[in-house]
Structure 1
Amino acid sequence: MKYEIKSAIKKIHKYSKLFFFTKKSVLYRGFRSVDLLIFDDIFPHPVSGFRLEEFTVLLQYFEKSKIIVSPTAYVVVNSKITDHSRDCSLFVKQFPDLKSKVRINKKFVNINTKLFYCIFIHNIFNNLHWLEKYKIPFVFTLYPGGGFKLNDIECDFKLRKVLSSPQFRQVIVTQKITRDYLVTNGFCSEENITFVFGGVVPQHSLVTTVAEIKEEHKEQDTFNVCFCAAKYMPKGLDKGYDVFIEAALSLSKKHNQIRFHVIGGFDLDDIDVTRIKDKTIFYGYQNHESLKTIFDRMDVIVSPNKAFLLHKGAFDGFPLGTVIEAALNNVVVLMTDELEQNETFIPDVDFILIQSTAASIVEAVERLMTNDQLAKRIKENSLQKFRKVYSNETQMTPRIAVLKKYI
């Protein structure tokens, strides 16, 4: 155990100072100070809708604010880092009033700020050394992912370093399992934790109308089932892609009208789909606007994700961001909740709870195919519930309140 701890710490120290600033970067306290300095590693990539919404709202709300981006996470979504300049240009074209607030990490970086903010444990940890050196207070959101793992030596080390820092002020968490883990293991007291269930989503998703398109779709003699997730491991075992394909193969034998749609990092080479090749469409990664166009044609989205497969202790938030987007486009949601993170949505009212098995998926899909009233009722209920839970009033108001408190 001692060897594992030493090895983890050695690995952490090796990479901890290479993430935010390069070795040639010069940090300085300029005359111009801001109230809020945000950092991210992929903003404003269009595939990350929740970041676009959250950071844009913060930049607009806090007059003296800016965001510094080191786009190292572009590779995670199969994008070239050289595309970052293009994405920044598109962003400032859409929000010209924020042009002066977007900074790409270059040689000279002014870090004069009252408060620092970022999301994910890997981002805050890799900035901790200079935050402590310059005595800059910070708040961060501990989303699932981004290096956060339960009962993991390396992650626990990072959590203790960050949450015991004299510059730490508050951590925002989005899942009760995260809150309980921090408190139970003595990482942080409850008074320094703000719990906001769910996550931020682009707000235009909440006001789009899908009724007209859905009526056109009803005239088609097809039933469309989709799967949407990023690919982080072979066969997408952590997202349940293997289970989805197994269910698709079974459903296609009995229902000729069913069609399958795969969105994200998967293609024909991941799992053999020869038997349903003519009934399956692969879309690859899609930006937020394209997702809406696809979801408008879907009847059901299946999210059979599993915890602790990608890495020991790694888990997804409930529900996935793509599931939220689908629900807001009037798609019936089938999803797992093996860690019992749900405390808001009602099974068989707002969504259908499934197990991560082909049999469970098949049973749920066939229920919907043979019961139009059930499908209609769940769509109506989920649309209203998801709109309420993921409104900026629910999601951003408490986040802004936390940041204002420490500025």
Structure 2
Amino acid sequence: MYSLNKKNIFVVIDSIFPQKDPFAFRNAEINEYIKIIKNFKAYSMPIIYPDNDAWFKHSYGVSKLMYKDNKKGYTRHYPKNKKSIEYLDINKKYKFSLAYTFFLGETYTLLPYLESNEIPFVFVLYPGGCFGLNNIGSDKMLKKIFDSPYFKGVITTQKITTDYLIQNKLCDASKVEYIYGGFVQFRKNDIKQKLIYPTDKKTFDICFVAAKYSEKGRDKGYDLFIETAKILSLKIPNIHFHVIGGFNEEDIDITEIKNKIHFYGYKKPDFLVEFYKSMDIFVSPNRPSELFQGNFDGFPLGIDAGYCGVALFVADELNMNTKYIPGEDIVIISLKPQEIADDILMYYNDLDRLYMLSYLGGQKTQALFDLDKQISQRINYFKKFATIEFGKNK
């Protein structure tokens, strides 16, 4: 092992960045750091397995061959960022001023490497990523990270996470930084003029947007969405349903609505801004603790849609909502398809109310998830531990 002296470099180490087809929140966040921080580098994580104390066994990271292919695709979209991205070499001893990582599972897997290189680090504890409430395995992993002499702090994005860490004495409160929210893939000037039903379009459009992590997408409530769609298709003749993400017509029988449902697969931001201008309602009947004990999603799901002015109809089984006003800028739904359908029908029959809710929800989401606001809060936190040099990244 030989030394690579980069003491003044602030880095992100990530398992999926860069992506061959860049999309989603990590891409948005890391690109901002590249753009505005002069002494910043993004490192792609090699394939690393966790130690035997982890409650999961899968690896994180990519091979160097895949990294090269991903970077080639990524730089077609962001050619100016090429020199700011490297592959983490486990045979080198790095001396970074500060490393920043995402999620529990990924950070835990990197922990031995960070410690052997004596790299101070902070991480963001998003929901998901092997983090579970009242999950013994998850708690042990958290404690091991928090006890590291190189751990400097953790960013939490949901109040439920902040309370859990502090009330269960997993982490000293002084090392927990609560920054609500996350990253959308757009800025305000990307948003398109919303199409209003029935003035601007002939169909009433409802969307479901999620990755597929389980059979029938139970964790995201895809099965409930389909059942709701079947009920609504009998009530609203000109209704259409739209699915973006990891689902297709083979996951659940859609015979009853096959002429009214459309599948798109995963899509990039430039498609989504066009897509969302035609959507009336985003539905997310997501369930906690489906993937593993204590698993949960951030609230609300669908911030990209909400940011673009789509009405958010979302579940909140853990009572995580602290920012929105139900019935004014968001609709909190149950996990019962008939009740979800009834909520949608009520707003369908009062379109003025629906579009006012869409507008107010869009304004609220844009304020909460403003990209510059999210970035500045994080950078101010990083500055407690490292020198951040602003300017063009070379």
TM-score by length of 2: 0.89
Equivalent residues in 2 for 1:2-401, closer than 5 Å: 26=1, 28-45=2-19, 46=21, 48-70=23-45, 84-106=67-89, 108-109=91-92, 111-204=94-187, 206-211=188-193, 214=195, 218-320=199-301, 323-401=302-380
1:43 aligned partner, one-letter code: F
| 1:106 positional shift | 4.7
CA distance, structure 2, for counterparts of residue 217 and residue 265 of structure 1 = 30
Deviation string 1:254-282 (CA, Å, 9 cap, x unpaired) is 22111111111111111111011011111
CA distance, structure 1, for counterparts of residue 378 and residue 158 of structure 2 = 15
* Change over 3 Å in CA distance of 1:189–1:378 after alignment to 2: same
Contact 1:40 1:71 in 2 (8 A): no
CA distance, structure 1, for counterparts of residue 374 and residue 220 of structure 2 = 25
Contact 2:93 2:117 in 1 (8 A): no
Of all paired residues, the percent bearing the same amino acid is 34
Contact 1:42 1:72 in 2 (8 A): no
Contact 1:40 1:118 in 2 (8 A): yes
* Change over 3 Å in CA distance of 1:81–1:373 after alignment to 2: farther
CA distance, structure 2, for counterparts of residue 137 and residue 32 of structure 1 = 13
* Change over 3 Å in CA distance of 1:141–1:341 after alignment to 2: same
| 1:199 positional shift | 0.6
2:161 aligned partner, one-letter code: T
* Change over 3 Å in CA distance of 1:111–1:31 after alignment to 2: closer
| 1:331 positional shift | 1.1
Q: Unaligned regions of 5+ residues in structure 2, if any?
A: 49-57, 387-394
Partner SS, residue 152 of structure 2: strand
Deviation string 1:229-249 (CA, Å, 9 cap, x unpaired) is 111110111111111111111
Residue 392 of structure 2 corresponds to none
| 1:48 positional shift | 4.0
1:310 aligned partner, one-letter code: L
CA distance, structure 2, for counterparts of residue 69 and residue 270 of structure 1 = 33
* Change over 3 Å in CA distance of 1:339–1:137 after alignment to 2: same
2:336 aligned partner, one-letter code: T
CA distance, structure 1, for counterparts of residue 139 and residue 246 of structure 2 = 30
* Change over 3 Å in CA distance of 1:247–1:82 after alignment to 2: farther
Partner SS, residue 39 of structure 1: strand
CA distance, structure 2, for counterparts of residue 105 and residue 86 of structure 1 = 15
Residue 55 of structure 2 corresponds to none
Contact 1:141 1:173 in 2 (8 A): yes
Contact 1:43 1:71 in 2 (8 A): no
CA distance, structure 1, for counterparts of residue 214 and residue 15 of structure 2 = 21
Residue 405 of structure 1 corresponds to 384
CA distance, structure 1, for counterparts of residue 124 and residue 140 of structure 2 = 17
Contact 2:205 2:281 in 1 (8 A): yes
CA distance, structure 1, for counterparts of residue 225 and residue 384 of structure 2 = 45
Partner SS, residue 9 of structure 2: strand
Partner SS, residue 4 of structure 2: coil
CA distance, structure 1, for counterparts of residue 353 and residue 64 of structure 2 = 46
Q: Unaligned regions of 5+ residues in structure 1, if any?
A: 1-25
Aligned residues: 374
* Change over 3 Å in CA distance of 1:123–1:33 after alignment to 2: same
Deviation string 1:312-362 (CA, Å, 9 cap, x unpaired) is 111101112xx1111122211100111111111111111111112102210
Contact 1:308 1:314 in 2 (8 A): yes
Partner SS, residue 268 of structure 1: coil
* Change over 3 Å in CA distance of 1:91–1:398 after alignment to 2: same
* Change over 3 Å in CA distance of 1:83–1:332 after alignment to 2: farther
Deviation string 1:34-64 (CA, Å, 9 cap, x unpaired) is 4212110111324642111211222333312
Residue 11 of structure 1 corresponds to none
Which structure has more relative contact order (CA 8 Å, sep 6+)? It is 2
Contact 1:203 1:391 in 2 (8 A): no
| 1:134 positional shift | 2.7
* Change over 3 Å in CA distance of 1:85–1:296 after alignment to 2: farther
TM-score by length of 1: 0.86
CA distance, structure 2, for counterparts of residue 384 and residue 70 of structure 1 = 37
Higher-helix-fraction structure? 1
CA distance, structure 1, for counterparts of residue 111 and residue 150 of structure 2 = 9
Contact 1:42 1:71 in 2 (8 A): no
